[in-house]
Structure 1
Amino acid sequence: MKNVIIVGGGASGLTAGIFAARRGHKVTILEHKDKTGKKILATGNGKCNYTNLVQLPECYRSNDSTFPMKVLSVFGVHETIDFFRQLGIYPKEREGYVYPNSEQAASVVQVLEMELRQLKVNICLAVHVEHIYKNKNIFTLTTNKGDFTADKVILAAGGCASPNHGSDGSGYLLAKELGHKIIKPLPALVQLKSKEKYFKTLAGVRTEAYIKLFVNDRFTAEEKGELLIANYGVSGIPIFQLSRFAAKAISENKRVDLKVDFLPSLNWKDTFELITERIKSNPKKTAEESMVGLFNNKLTFIMLKEVGIEPALSWEKVNRNNITDLVNQIKEWKIPISETNPFEQAQVSAGGVDTAEISPISMESKLVKGLYLTGELVDVDGTCGGYNLQWAWSTGAIAGMNL
């Protein structure tokens, strides 16, 4: 039996605690908030999309693109669903997205906490770990509530995203103190900001769009889905999926632009014909009137303004070259991105402990024997759809099993 301390009572820490205790270890979880599992409660709008049946390499991002799938081959989606089913979570699946049948994130936290209680895991709340030292084979953790010692330590302290839920970046400092390289943490699954003044007018618009991201004019990534426009810039799932690439480029002082197609169902030629037909059907209508029913009125107004067409002018008085400009604006509206929203608004952190220093089979540090690193602390972040929680369950379970 080993004396095990887990730093962090989030998704990976709680899972690690269960698997370690099931193997007969004496386990203590140190959580610096007043409750465990706070970030779990906020997932999936409180419904907790806890995994996804579709598990592909492109669902995870890391400096080492092969590392996530190596981990998931040890403990993956089916093992996760079985684990939670044993705890009492009956799965409900929608297009690959898996939720508890109760549709309550609280259910997931409750079953984890019930199992930890049955296994007699000691959970200490409001304990902030300040330093970790290793002398011979014993770890000493200094905290605001005194020192703790352990044979094994699992660092499950999370990243920087959503600090109000407990992820304040302190885990990176502890890992660095123990000799690990930290790849710069950046906000991911987050909104993107632009300095364009028209966003104040467009705030509140929701529309389907096809979005491409360019870094220094080079195509980098693309997504399709509902775009949400705010007074600071853009949001929505497709923006969240692209945000990691934007954050990384901005941190390297590179130029980031989005090109948005507001009519993705039609190609350029068909869009031109559609606009031309609307004009021909009633040339006495104003430019703004002829677009009613095609786009949100606020979007139409700014589109016209951006290409130099006065919205109140009838098409009879509009320069025909402006029609081509309008179609170009509809199909490839360029938005310069200045920055991401901060970690407070981000769902997850990109970056973290370099995976080259961690075993994907055990999650044990290659630098410090007896130290394990899990969850968001590691340089792996998933796309929207339950992937970041799957990463937490997988790494926590593997660490707990391999002590």
Structure 2
Amino acid sequence: MTKLNSHTCDCIVIGGGAAGMMSAVCASQGGASVILIEHTARLGSKILQTGNGKCNFTNLHMQADCYQNGNPDFVMQVLNTFPVQDTLEFFENAGIYHKDRNGYVYPHSETAASLQSALRYEVEQSGVTVFTEQSVLSVEKKDGSFYVTTDTDSFCGHACILATGSKAAPKTGSDGSGYTLARKFGHHIIKPLPALVQLTSDNPLCKAMSGVRSTGTVTVFADGNSVASDTGEIQYTDYGISGIPVFQVSRYAVKAADSKRIVTAVVDMLPDFEAETLITQSIKRMYQHNTQDIVTFFSGLLNKKLVQAVAKSCGYPAGTTMDALGKKGIAKMITAFKDFSFDITGSRSFDAAQICQGGVSLEEVDSQFMQSLLCPGLFFAGELLDVDGKCGGYNLQWAWSSGHLAGTSAAQYCISQKGTHYDSN
């Protein structure tokens, strides 16, 4: 049997994403010797995907309803320990100046790589020892110390921070392995499901609408009851619907579908118009353009592909003239524009999801320290927990705040344990 390389420190951080790096930096700055273990080749890979590569890393409008879970007080308590202003100051000290777009905050360079590099540099400068391409096989606690084993190395420390991420975007390293590690310490895992993800539909008109981007309001219904709604640019695809407003409501649709509820997404393609006003105006205009075909007539309102799809759903061939359509047909078309339904079959996979809903139950974590209530010295940070935020920098702010608190608390814990077991110095 190959002998493993052995390493000792105060605090072991598992996971080199946003939350893990912040945890490691803060634990080190708090006086602990820190080892950071990441199973991919580079730290912070997922950061590069945020904000379409521009990295929307926080938001100036931070409220409890920007996050979804059963315990909003928990989330706000953690966020308030390291609020947005502290985040901006931290990154400015690291050389990342920011720009604000209606509350959405980006690096002034508008490149995610700049923030990733700055954070990796902070890890290095803080004296954290980093091990990459190391897959954790086991974590256990014996005689007051944590023992972590990988393929080639073993690690021992007073404290352990799990910041392994969720199952979303597994190509960046988020493979869900942290759930297994947390379970071994008795923690319950709320079923992880995709969130901030595209929704799939078996509507036969999806392919006809594919490629169109248009402002609209999407409302999700579960068993006929409205559960979420959002407005913005909707992207119509061959498999269903996408875009920011779809991402914002997707968690509700996915959760309802997973519970075997009947899920429908209703799109108002003309949210800036009242149906009655449009009907009146269109009937008036019809008399002047009675020979015009239905698609051309409505193309000043909507993309022709959407008009064709809606016309087909209403039973009207694309070549139907306005004279043949008539008043009732106009009312039917505009009603369909304002109330177009997609039967939702589910969502794209974890590969396409930006984040997950579900994770380590907050009921078993102390919000004052991010410490396990079941195992002293075990801390959590980031997306591994049952916290999911809206699009707009909210999930990265959760990573910064929870990582800061976990790292700071772990360092304090290590100091309190000095001399009780081994001394890493």
Shorter-chain TM-score tier: over 0.9
TM alignment of 1:45-124, pairs within 5 A: 45-124=52-131
Q: What is the CA distance between 1:45 and its match in structure 2?
A: 1.7
TM alignment of 1:208-227, pairs within 5 A: 208-227=215-234
Structure-2 separation of matches of 1:223 and 1:7 = 36
Match of residue 181 from structure 1:
188
Tell me whether 1:328 sits opposite 2:335 in the alignment.
Answer: yes
Match of residue 362 from structure 1:
369
Q: What is the CA distance between 1:340 and its match in structure 2?
A: 0.4
**SS of 2:248 mapped into structure 1:** helix
Match of residue 283 from structure 1:
290
Give the counterpart letter for 1:305 in structure 2.
K
Deviating runs (4+, > 4 A) in structure 1? none
Q: 1:144 to 1:304 in 2, by over 3 A?
A: same
Q: What is the CA distance between 1:360 and its match in structure 2?
A: 1.3
Q: What is the CA distance between 1:315 and its match in structure 2?
A: 2.2
Q: What is the CA distance between 1:177 and its match in structure 2?
A: 1.2
Q: 260, 263, 281: which is aligned to 1:274?
A: 281
Q: 1:145 to 1:277 in 2, by over 3 A?
A: farther
Q: 1:278–1:290: 8 Å Cα contact kept in structure 2?
A: no
Q: 309, 313, 334: which is aligned to 1:306?
A: 313
- Return the TM-score normalized by structure 2: 0.92
Structure-2 separation of matches of 1:215 and 1:291 = 31
Give the counterpart letter for 1:12 in structure 2.
A
Match of residue 391 from structure 2:
384
Structure-2 separation of matches of 1:180 and 1:392 = 20
Structure-1 separation of matches of 2:326 and 2:277 = 20
Q: What is the CA distance between 1:63 and its match in structure 2?
A: 2.3
Aligned length: 403
Q: What is the CA distance between 1:290 and its match in structure 2?
A: 1.3
Match of residue 30 from structure 1:
37
Q: What is the CA distance between 1:147 and its match in structure 2?
A: 2.1
Q: 1:314 to 1:118 in 2, by over 3 A?
A: closer
Structure 1: runs of 5 or more not aligned:
none
Structure-2 separation of matches of 1:281 and 1:69 = 58
Q: 1:259–1:332: 8 Å Cα contact kept in structure 2?
A: yes
Match of residue 257 from structure 2:
250
Q: What is the CA distance between 1:111 and its match in structure 2?
A: 1.6
Match of residue 133 from structure 2:
126
Structure-2 separation of matches of 1:112 and 1:290 = 54
**SS of 2:35 mapped into structure 1:** strand
Deviations 1:184-217 (A, max 9, x none): 0010010000011111111101111011111100
Match of residue 295 from structure 1:
302
Q: 2:164–2:177: 8 Å Cα contact kept in structure 1?
A: yes
Deviations 1:38-90 (A, max 9, x none): 00111112211111110011111112232211111111111111111111111
**SS of 1:402 mapped into structure 2:** helix
Structure 2: runs of 5 or more not aligned:
1-7, 411-425
Match of residue 236 from structure 2:
229
Q: What is the CA distance between 1:249 and its match in structure 2?
A: 0.5
Q: 327, 337, 340: which is aligned to 2:344?
A: 337
Structure-2 separation of matches of 1:399 and 1:292 = 55
Give the counterpart letter for 1:118 in structure 2.
Q
Give the counterpart letter for 1:154 in structure 2.
I
Match of residue 3 from structure 2:
none
Match of residue 172 from structure 1:
179
Deviations 1:210-237 (A, max 9, x none): 1111110001111000010010000000
Q: What is the CA distance between 1:119 and its match in structure 2?
A: 2.1
Q: 1:132–1:178: 8 Å Cα contact kept in structure 2?
A: no
Give the counterpart letter for 1:390 in structure 2.
Q
Match of residue 407 from structure 2:
400
Q: What is the CA distance between 1:317 and its match in structure 2?
A: 2.3
Structure-2 separation of matches of 1:313 and 1:110 = 58
Give the RMSD, CA atoms, in angstroms. Answer: 1.3
Q: Percent identity?
A: 40
- Return the TM-score normalized by structure 1: 0.97
Deviations 1:251-299 (A, max 9, x none): 1111110111111111121121132233222111122221122211111
**SS of 2:287 mapped into structure 1:** helix
Match of residue 21 from structure 1:
28
Structure-1 separation of matches of 2:383 and 2:66 = 15
**SS of 1:288 mapped into structure 2:** helix
Structure-2 separation of matches of 1:39 and 1:75 = 22
Q: 191, 205, 222: which is aligned to 2:212?
A: 205
Structure-1 separation of matches of 2:77 and 2:124 = 31
Q: What is the CA distance between 1:387 and its match in structure 2?
A: 0.6
